[in-house]
Amino acid sequence: MAFGSGAMTNSIGEIRNADCIFVIGSNTSENHPVIALEVKAAVRQRGAKVIVADPRRIDLVNFAHLWLRHHPGTDVALLNGMLNVIISHGWVNQSFVNERTEGFEALAESVKDYVPERVEKITGVPAKDIVEASRLYAQSANSSVLYAMGITQHATGTHNVLALANLAMVTGQIGKPFSGINPLRGQNNVQGACDMGGLPNVYTGYQRVDDEAVRQRFEKAWGIALSPRPGLTLMEMMKGIAEGRMKALFILGENPVLSDPNAEKVKDELKRLDLLVVQDIFLSETAELAHVVLPGVSFAEKDGTFTNTERRVQRIRKAIEPIGNARPDWKIICDLSSRLGYPMNYDSPQQIMEEIASVTPSYGGIRYERLEGLGLQWPCPSIDHPGTPFLHKDRFTRGRGKFHITPYAAPPELPDQEYPFLLTTGRVLYHYHTLISQKSKGLAEIYPEGLVEINPDDARRLGIKPDNGLVEVASRRGKVKARAKVSDNLPPGLVFMTFHFKEAAANLLTIDVLDPIAKIPEFKVCAVRVKKLG
């Protein structure tokens, strides 16, 4: 939004060469383990300085030069504080700001009040650490930011991301090798799903559906009139169902019952549909509610491409025939489309990619024969283009980078007498919030169920046994039973839960207050009460 693109600006291989790596809202070792190896190599082999901002003592803290243990949900205040320090100490990259950005004066004005002493009060991070982090980030030759769901899954997620962009632009730590803003995307092909137009307002390659010229091009390519009206987001669709406007939902390989906040509500809403179709490889909680279930195949049973978090388009290859009577998902979709009166006749995923390339400028040069080896990083506009390791070299996608004002607002729900703990959610190394990891025997054995992590002092006070004591976690919206894991990685007053398991769906607890801009629900913090059960 600030520079016009929502992907990693740099390559995974560049992390190793950064001088300063600022990790915020990413438990990299657990969620992007092989990227964490790059961070560790940067520290141990090249002496890079890592700043970790996280309320939990995550693994990378052991490699960090500086650990900013801010209170959950106060990221914007922390980042505004860093901007304040950078501006007041004269660490602004003035030529970058002049030549490539707009709106700096207003930004400077807006962070005037975020002096370190005040930010310390909000975030709990000592003022001198805020100053040191700012200095390191601003003055290192190359600084790279890594962030993940810990930044986006907040009611203030969009502000968090924009504040990071402000930081990068004020210091000119973007648009060059080894330095930039790097969102680490969760699932294997979430980047690709977005690139392919899996969003209500854009076609492939983020071409807007409400742009007349774009739409005309797609109408020509697809041979049919298209709607100029942006569609509904998932959350709006759910609301539409509740209001009786949405009647049918087709879900490909996703399990919103488990991955959305307020699982029970989602379930109730899906049940109201006239037609729910789920295409998946397992009978997920969502598929159980469907009227029709279509068996697709795993990645081992089909050809295709995934696009990773650094925009690299890579080939997956069919290794075995589909299991049972299941069919490759692309074939199912073609058959369905033909039945809907819009015939699709493709021989192979390769042929589909040729069509994608023909309608998507950033994928214009992607061809299967070019993807052997390391694949290609978009933008790759033409057949002889080598791909793009880092973005925004001479200009931003949107032209000048725009500073956005990002005022801090306290999280929507804070602990009180009745619900004295702050709950934060996330993933662990061994699982993803999809079924596949739980259907893997070894992964299920090594991390069998959703655990509630709690600080030792809190556990002692509540009489919770150190190993696997059973507890009940309750919020204003619901409660779950889970086993406790006592861990001094957490500060007192904070509990952590995974959101992978239906038996302990932490999402029962989360608030569905939406970020007003990105429409991402608040997954990360809410107030809970913890009670010992056994």
CB burial of residue 213 (10 Å; 0-12, 13-18, 19+): exposed
- Enter the tokens of residue 75: 């990221």
**Considering only residues 13, 33, 399, 466, which one is a binding residue for ligand SF4 as defined by CB under 6 A?**
33
Please give, one letter per residue, the 3-state secondary structure of 146-181.
EECHHHHCCCCHHHHHHHHHHHHHHHCCCCECCEEE
Q: Does residue 10 interact with another protein by CB under 8 A?
A: no
The least CB distance from residue 313 to ligand SF4, in Å, is: 15
The least CB distance from residue 321 to another protein, in Å, is: 6
Q: Does residue 283 interact with another protein by CB under 8 A?
A: yes
**Of the candidates 423, 426, 438, the residue with the CA atom closest to the CA atom of residue 255:** 438
The least CB distance from residue 183 to ligand SF4, in Å, is: 15
Residue nearer to ligand SF4 on the CB measure, 427 or 477: 427
Helix 157-171 with 75-88: angle, nearest 10 deg: 20
The least CB distance from residue 253 to another protein, in Å, is: 3
- Give dist(CA 56, CA 67) in Å, integer: 10
- Enter the tokens of residue 305: 């491409």
The string of DSSP letters for 412-461 reads S----SSS-EEEEEE--TT--SSGGGTTSHHHHHHS-S-EEEE-HHHHHH
Three-state secondary structure call for residue 13: helix
Q: Does residue 242 interact with another protein by CB under 8 A?
A: no
The least CB distance from residue 34 to ligand SF4, in Å, is: 4
**Of the candidates 510, 468, 507, 500, the residue with the CA atom closest to the CA atom of residue 485:** 468
Contact 314, 307 (CB under 8 A): yes
Q: Does residue 149 interact with another protein by CB under 8 A?
A: yes
x/- track of binding to another protein for residues 491-510 (CB under 8 A): --------------------
Q: Does residue 198 interact with another protein by CB under 8 A?
A: yes
Question: In the range 321-360, which residues lie near another protein by CB under 8 A?
Answer: 321, 323-327, 329-330, 332-337, 339-342, 344, 346, 349, 352-353, 355-356
Contact 282, 348 (CB under 8 A): no
Residue nearer to ligand SF4 on the CB measure, 375 or 401: 375
- Enter the tokens of residue 150: 């810990």
x/- track of binding to another protein for residues 43-82 (CB under 8 A): -x------------------x-------------------
The least CB distance from residue 216 to ligand SF4, in Å, is: 39
- From the list 25-33, 69-77, 84-92, 167-175, the region that binds another protein by CB under 8 A is 25-33
311 binds, among ligand SF4, another protein, none (CB under 5 to 8 A by kind): none
Residue nearer to ligand SF4 on the CB measure, 34 or 224: 34
The least CB distance from residue 384 to another protein, in Å, is: 21
Please give, one letter per residue, the 3-state secondary structure of 94-131.
HHHHHHHEECHHHHHHHCCCCCHHHHHHHHCCCHHHHH
Distances (CA, A) of 154 to 248, 261, 282, 333: 29, 12, 30, 34
| φ/ψ of residue 510, rounded to 5 | -80, 160
The least CB distance from residue 514 to another protein, in Å, is: 11
Residue nearer to another protein on the CB measure, 137 or 378: 378
Residue nearer to ligand SF4 on the CB measure, 33 or 420: 33
152 binds, among another protein, ligand SF4, none (CB under 5 to 8 A by kind): another protein
The least CB distance from residue 142 to another protein, in Å, is: 19
Residue whose C-beta lies closest to ligand SF4: 34
Distances (CA, A) of 17 to 45, 74, 181: 10, 29, 15
- Give dist(CA 437, CA 442) in Å, integer: 9
Helix 263-271 with 234-242: angle, nearest 10 deg: 60
**Considering only residues 437, 462, 465, 532, which one is a binding residue for another protein as defined by CB under 8 A?**
437
x/- track of binding to another protein for residues 396-415 (CB under 8 A): --------------------
Q: Does residue 34 interact with ligand SF4 by CB under 6 A?
A: yes
- Give dist(CA 300, CA 356) in Å, integer: 22
The least CB distance from residue 51 to ligand SF4, in Å, is: 22
Residue nearer to another protein on the CB measure, 91 or 282: 282
- Enter the tokens of residue 102: 């707009």
Question: In the range 164-183, which residues lie near another protein by CB under 8 A?
Answer: 183
- Give dist(CA 516, CA 228) in Å, integer: 23
Of all helices (H) and strands (E), which one includes residue 505? none
- Give dist(CA 144, CA 146) in Å, integer: 7
80 binds, among ligand SF4, another protein, none (CB under 5 to 8 A by kind): none
Q: Which amino acid is at 277?
A: V
The least CB distance from residue 433 to ligand SF4, in Å, is: 13
Q: Does residue 298 interact with another protein by CB under 8 A?
A: yes
Q: Which residues bind ligand SF4 (CB under 6 A)?
A: 33-34
